[in-house]
Amino acid sequence: MSKSFITGFPRIGEQRELKFALESFWAGKSDFSEVERVAKELKARHWKYQKDAHIDFISANDFSYYDLMLDNIITFGAIPPRFDGLSGTELYFSMARGNKTSVAMEMTKWFNTNYHYIVPELSKETKFSLNPTKILNEYKEAKAEGITPKINLIGPITFLALSKTTDGSCALCHLDALVEQYAKLLVEISKLDNEVVVQIDEPIFVTDKAEKLKDKIAPVYDKLCAEDNVKIIFMTYFEHANEAVKEIVKTKVWGVGLDFVHTSCQKDSLEILKNSDKILFAGLIDGRNVWVSDLDAKLELINKIKEYIPSERLNIGTSCSLLHVPYTLKYEEKLSIKEWLSFALEKLTEVNLLKKLANGEHFCEVGEGLLAKNRAAIASRKTSELVNDKAVQERVKNLSKFERDTPYEERIKVQKAKFNLPELPTTTIGSFPQTPELRQVRNAYKKSLISQEAYEKDIKKYIDECIAFQEECGLDVLVHGEPERNDMVEYFGEQLKGYAFSTNGWVQSYGSRCVKPPLLFGDVSRPKAMTVDWISYAQSKTSKIMKGMLTGPVTILNWSFVRDDKPRSEIAKELALCIYDEIDDLQNAGIKIIQVDEAAFKEGYPLRRENVSAYEKFAVDCFKLSVCSAGAQTQIHTHMCYSEFNDIIKTIEAMDADVISIETARSGNELLKIFKSVGYKQEVGPGVYDIHSPRVPSVEEIATQIHALLEVLPKSQLWINPDCGLKTRKWEEVKPSLKNMTAAVKIVRLS
């Protein structure tokens, strides 16, 4: 008989309880004991949800106060030297968020998801040591709740492969030393119970790095399988792991986890596992999207898997951690497409139903009702008139233009003559602080508690204040601050046909930061202009250039929960046409610079090289389609977050934006050097300070950073800006930081 498992569960809280507890602690309004109380309550609640859904393998150590990679850094003592002397929560949150004297550790995207992890920093001098307290305590907490959990760990090979070194040394050269500490940890874990299941996540093996790393698997896992009462699951997700499966079957690991959602067949791996004794943990319920699973179709897939793996060696669960989806639909009272959706809590039920179907178990009346509801949802979604729009389909079908009319070399001459900006022009990425008062205004308007007139008055007041401050501190190109926007994707989705929105569908992005992705369920179109009124108002309040701020089609796609019944490339074209129309309206309204953010461009990249060219083609085509309505005199900016650009720099060139701003504050000038190495012609705005940390950089610090940038690119090619939007920061951090930035630029201009 097959059993059920959950790869991992969300941790921020179904009503973001952990977020609010953390932010209260960081603001000095409560003690850390309150955070600990909330955390304990959440863990117990989440375990109970899974137990009540009859999940057989429930995780411990999938919880974190900030990030699991950061927890791993603490567990194995890989603390960067700049945090020496700190301990406890001061150490932990200084590493994550920085402090007055030390910058935070770098963050980047967890594979091709929108979750950010803390990047370990290693050097030749790194010495590992073991601190297993969190892991052991969490197991004991679960036992106290009547649950015998599996323990989740990030694997040593993945940990090192995702690390960076500060001295140019090889991170993977630390493998033997790190594995020694993992082995010590497993000895401690073996003492917890007569038998302990440990899920070791090694998702690095679903990437192209697998071929180079595969020879490390057997030596590492032979050492980690030394404890007889510890059963190890080698867990992968997001893609196939054929290279790793060939090697892991040679070891004594107990189970192997594979993703059957994003690589539905997995035939090669199944052939390898067929003649082994390994338990297959088959990820069949999508952990990254929100649509109801077609359980009958999943059962057909299970039957194909059973041609290789018998039921007693087959366990059924989620394709990856449910961290990537919202918690539950139970608070969604106004969601028109609710019957088509399944969030984390509902996916527990799907896993249980699928296990029963796979085992041929008898369904009680409740189970029969749930199965009938599932089948009805699948059928209604396929036939709904809400999904199909023939006008949109025809417009996409007849597309022919994907290029701007004037090449960059000619455009930039027109723009420089028209704008007459100084060397090293200064700007920001777009958003200004989203204050509690501002959120209250938007929330009150949304609930019809205030009139439209009152709402617009408050929003305009905020815009006026943003403009006055920017003029005061001497910025060259201004922004309106985006006070009308709750989120850079949700704001646009709310104005597009084909989208729906949850009330409480929050998903953790990093730390306490949560996003609420919109639900793209049908053909997409723009009924009317989305930003023109607000940007035009802002431009009317200043003689300086006001940037129009838009989110790009690829980012809207990658940061939405997207329908799974149509190619993403076609959906992206629909979104691009919406932005195309908006740009045309903005420039006709007199807006000279328009920023089309593609913060999630890199995030959507496939993890396997064989799939990259197809993604790049549609992603570049759709960006170019979205901006090709812009005339030569309209300058198009774009912004990208947390990206390693060395492998996609030619793709960025192909996007043909006039100016690109990038995040470099936590990674030095390495990203910028890539632009120089390829002879990048367009202008670049490298972030000169880190907005993800509350610390205020000094004038001298920023001036030093600008001088470092000038060692790579000339003044004529550089813009100066923070490394991302400022919505998550407080005004008392933003104002001195931007004043210091403009002061630093003035110093450098004179040097």
Residues catalogued as catalytic:
692
CA atoms within 13 A on the CB side of 143: 12
Cα gap 709→683, rounded to integer Å? 13
Could you say which DSSP state residue 172 is in? Answer: G
Q: Are 61 and 151 in contact (CB under 8 A)?
A: yes
What are the residues whose beta carbons fall under 8 Å from the beta carbon of 150, sequence distance 6 or more?
Answer: 5, 57, 58, 59, 60, 196, 197, 198, 199, 233
Residue 389, both tokens:
């729009």
Instruction: Determine if residue 429 is labeled as part of a ligand binding site.
Output: yes
Instruction: Determine if residue 749 is labeled as part of a ligand binding site.
Output: no
Instruction: Determine if residue 336 is labeled as part of a ligand binding site.
Output: no
Residue 687, class by beta-carbon neighbours within 10 Å (0-12 exposed, 13-18 middle, 19+ buried)? buried
CA angle 275, 281, 283 (to 5 degrees): 125
Neighbours of 282 (CB within 10 A): 28
Q: Are 690 and 665 in contact (CB under 8 A)?
A: yes
Cα gap 8→10, rounded to integer Å? 7
Residue 546, both tokens:
């006001």
b/e map of 382-410 (b: 16 or more CB within 10 Å)? eeeebbebeebeeebeeeeebebeeebee
CA angle 565, 112, 163 (to 5 degrees): 165
Instruction: Determine if residue 559 is labeled as part of a ligand binding site.
Output: yes
Q: Please, what is the angle between helix 452-473 and helix 436-446, to 10°?
A: 150
Instruction: Determine if residue 367 is labeled as part of a ligand binding site.
Output: no
Instruction: Determine if residue 466 is labeled as part of a ligand binding site.
Output: no
H/E run at residue 60? strand 59-60
Instruction: Determine if residue 513 is labeled as part of a ligand binding site.
Output: yes
Instruction: Determine if residue 641 is labeled as part of a ligand binding site.
Output: yes
Q: Are 582 and 591 in contact (CB under 8 A)?
A: no
Instruction: Determine if residue 114 is labeled as part of a ligand binding site.
Output: yes
Q: Are 287 and 322 in contact (CB under 8 A)?
A: yes
Instruction: Determine if residue 332 is labeled as part of a ligand binding site.
Output: no
Q: What torsion, rounded to 10 degrees, do the Cα atoms 446, 451, 452, 454 define? A: -110
H/E run at residue 83? none
Instruction: Determine if residue 368 is labeled as part of a ligand binding site.
Output: no
Report the DSSP beta bridge partners of residue 5.
Answer: 57, 317
Instruction: Determine if residue 663 is labeled as part of a ligand binding site.
Output: yes
Instruction: Determine if residue 23 is labeled as part of a ligand binding site.
Output: no
CA angle 522, 523, 524 (to 5 degrees): 110
Instruction: Please report the DSSP string for 394-454 in residue order.
Output: HHHHT----S-SS-HHHHHHHHHHHH-PPSS-B---SB----HHHHHHHHHHHTTSS-HHH
Cα gap 475→739, rounded to integer Å? 9
Q: What share of the chain is helix, strand, coil (3-state, %, to 5)?
A: 45, 15, 40
Instruction: Determine if residue 90 is labeled as part of a ligand binding site.
Output: no
Instruction: Determine if residue 354 is labeled as part of a ligand binding site.
Output: no
Instruction: Determine if residue 283 is labeled as part of a ligand binding site.
Output: no
Instruction: Determine if residue 603 is labeled as part of a ligand binding site.
Output: yes
Cα gap 183→459, rounded to integer Å? 57
First vs last Cα of the chain: how many Å apart?
75
**Binding-site residue ranges for L-homocysteine:** 429-431, 482, 597
**Binding-site residue ranges:** 16-19, 109, 114, 429-431, 482, 513-514, 559, 597, 603, 639, 641, 663, 724
**Binding-site residue ranges for 5-methyltetrahydropteroyltri-L-glutamate:** 16-19, 109, 114, 513-514, 559, 603
